[in-house]
Amino acid sequence: MKTDPATLEIMRSYYNAIAAGMGHVIERTSFTTFVKESADFATALATPDGEFFVYPKTVGVTIFLGLSLKRAAEACHPLEPGDIIITNEPYSTDGLATHLPDVHVFKPIFVNGELISYAWAFVHCSDVGGLVPSSISPEATDIHQEGLRIPPVKLYKRGEPNADVHTFLNANSRSPQLNLGDFNAMVAAVNTAEQRMLSMVEKFGVQAVKDSMEDLMEQGELRSRKVIDRIPDGTYEFADYLDDDMLSDTPIRLAVAVTVSSGEITLDFSNSDPQVRTAFNLVTNGKKHSFLFQGLINYIISSDPYIPVNGGITRPISVVAPAGTLVNPVYPAAVGVRHTITMRLYNAVLGALAKAIPHGIPAAGAGQSAIVVLSTPDAQNGTRNMAVVQPMGGGGGGQSKMDGADGIDHASGFLRNTPIESLEQHIQVLVHKYELLENTAGPGLHRGGHAIRLDFEIIEESSIVTARGMERLRFHPWGLNGGRAGSLGKVQLNPGREDEQNLPKISVLHPKPGDIVSIHSPGGGGWGNPFERSPEEVLAEVRSGLLGLHEAEQLYGVVLVPVDGKLTLNQEHTDRIRAEHPVQAEFWDFGRARTAYEQVWTSEASDRLARLLQQLPPTQRAARKQLVHELADARIKGEPLNEAAIDALWTELV
């Protein structure tokens, strides 16, 4: 390490202030509610090699840590002072851009002609064309249906705007002015960072700045290895599921084998399902990508709260992601709902680690961040208005020392909710309910977080609602170490009225004025035996209105009775129920649906099918998987499948 520790800590504070300051610029100057209110943006500083050497954890989303600007920057060489690069293209950037609405802007910073750093920002912009308003449809079948693809190109050349690029950006959006406002916010952010980085060079000297960047990366790597070294060596396997691919009822399986060895971790996704026909694919080009192991990153940061948050944390991590799988699709697979895969990978990786460090891992949270978007016609100019109604998270998973967070899952990247007042100012909508839901938290010694209910009324004719990323309507968030599974989500139209309807996951919904769309998110899984939860905590939960009297007795063995108009604990009956009917504390509680599914589709059978499918061209695999499942349903009639049964079905199809 070239920088003495005291000076390095001072410089680290400077860098954090610069990176966070970029985020504050975006918050204060952006146009759209999803950026300035929900905070779907990020900022960071990168080394000349494109690695993020400082990444703020208090401003914007945190899930881009560990990605690289290298390939996108190389596509725009030669770089010159004043250049600003823009891109949203996943395949040509090694997954820096993960879907088309995420638009990235970065600026090379030069000192005396030498590149010393990059200032980087991204925002999720309102619309880049595509099948639906806001661009993302889960049912898109290739990336060309998802909107404008922007390969790495110079938005500014030597400080001057590239008029041609601005022209085609404006021509390919339903809301060009909203996009332009957010793009300009990013430009202001990276320009601000450049000025402050140059001030640091004047204060400390260019060599000290260059040395401190690499020293911070090295420090992040060394401390990350220390955390990983505390995990017992071994290989730990786990799988989790998305409900379906929107085209059939067949679940999507994400399987991982996590191998820990002497301070390093390898994550092998070879037994995951093939890329799907719809938009649930994650582009990585087979390379290390933070979306594959965000749960592991968060575990490391939580285990060492003072670790420098930078790409060095990911250096001890490697991945195996075969081409043609969900986590390494081949062009032109659709990728718009890639964050759904990311959140389930979060569950899968932490599920594997729970086998090694059960007291260090939370139960599964809601596992969704359904971005509910409302689009209404703009009668004045013929375009459409758009706003994110809410990023609908759900309950977090219970932990060994505390309850899960209500209404927000730690896997969601720390998106904030949109204030109702701000939403109703930006678009014609009337929100009826936005509240926590009772009896949705997975029971446990430490319960899961409660789910959210959102009811909003449609005001305008020709309104369109989309809700990408809606999940856990079929497979519960799992409970851990004796905790129980969390509740499922659901969608309704006009709840409580004569025309009430239960709806499937929303892709594109065309409600009428006066219709009320009601969305319930999933609740988090519980951690630990619920019969060991303090009766006083159960009583407080009932008094808060989030747990019913019946549920308190059935799920926790706690009997509450009214005394002088106030609920009071009946300790004698509680002790008797808990003694007579102790809960059998299974390590996992996957919920009824997953348990029933895996009684037929065992891990052995699913792993075997995944390996057989890899013999086919990637674009044929999803259809063949569906055929095998249909044949199994017809032939097996609910009996458990093994490798021999899968081989027989495969041979019959071939």
Please choose, from the candidates 602, 593, 590, the residue with its C-alpha nearest in 3D space to the C-alpha of residue 632: 602
pLDDT in tens, 141-166: 999 999 999 999 999 999 999 999 99
Tell me the pLDDT of the chain averaged across its residues. Answer: 94
Contact status, residue 83 vs residue 157, Cβ threshold 8 Å: yes
Whether 654 shows a pLDDT value over 80: the answer reads no
Residues 6+ apart with CB under 8 A from 256: 237, 238, 239, 267, 268, 269, 272, 345, 348, 349, 352
What is the 3-class SS of 464-484, one letter each residue? EEEEECCCCCCCCCCEECCCC
Please choose, from the candidates 288, 223, 229, the residue with its C-alpha nearest in 3D space to the C-alpha of residue 263: 229
Contact status, residue 476 vs residue 484, Cβ threshold 8 Å: no
Whether 1 shows a pLDDT value over 90: the answer reads no
Rounded CA-CA distance 383/126 in Å is 13
Stretch 473-491: mean pLDDT: 97
Looking at residue 413, its pLDDT comes to 67
Looking at residue 49, its pLDDT comes to 96
Looking at residue 410, its pLDDT comes to 79
Assigned token pair, 623: 């259809």
CA 165 to chain CA centroid, nearest Å: 30
Looking at residue 143, its pLDDT comes to 96
Higher pLDDT, 613 or 387: 613
What percent of the chain lies above the pLDDT cut of 90?
A: 83
Assigned token pair, 369: 């961040």
Specify the pTM: 0.94
Give the residue carrying structure tokens 């939960």: 541
Amino acid of residue 274: P
Amino acid of residue 627: L
Specify the range with the lowest mean pLDDT, choosing from 138-152, 330-344, 348-362, 375-389: 375-389
Stretch 266-271: mean pLDDT: 98
Assigned token pair, 466: 């989309």
Stretch 539-557: mean pLDDT: 96
Stretch 519-526: mean pLDDT: 97
Looking at residue 643, its pLDDT comes to 95
What are the contacts of 175-180 at 24+ separation with CB within 8 A? 175/126, 175/127, 175/383, 175/384, 175/385, 175/386, 177/31, 178/31, 178/32, 178/125, 178/126, 178/127, 178/386, 179/103, 179/125, 179/126, 179/127, 179/128, 180/31
Whether 651 shows a pLDDT value over 70: the answer reads yes
Stretch 474-479: mean pLDDT: 97
Stretch 524-530: mean pLDDT: 97
Whether 233 shows a pLDDT value over 90: the answer reads yes
pLDDT in tens, 397-454: 999 999 999 999 877 767 788 889 989 988 999 999 999 999 999 999 999 999 999 9
Helix ranges, 104-262 (H): 163-171, 176-204, 206-229
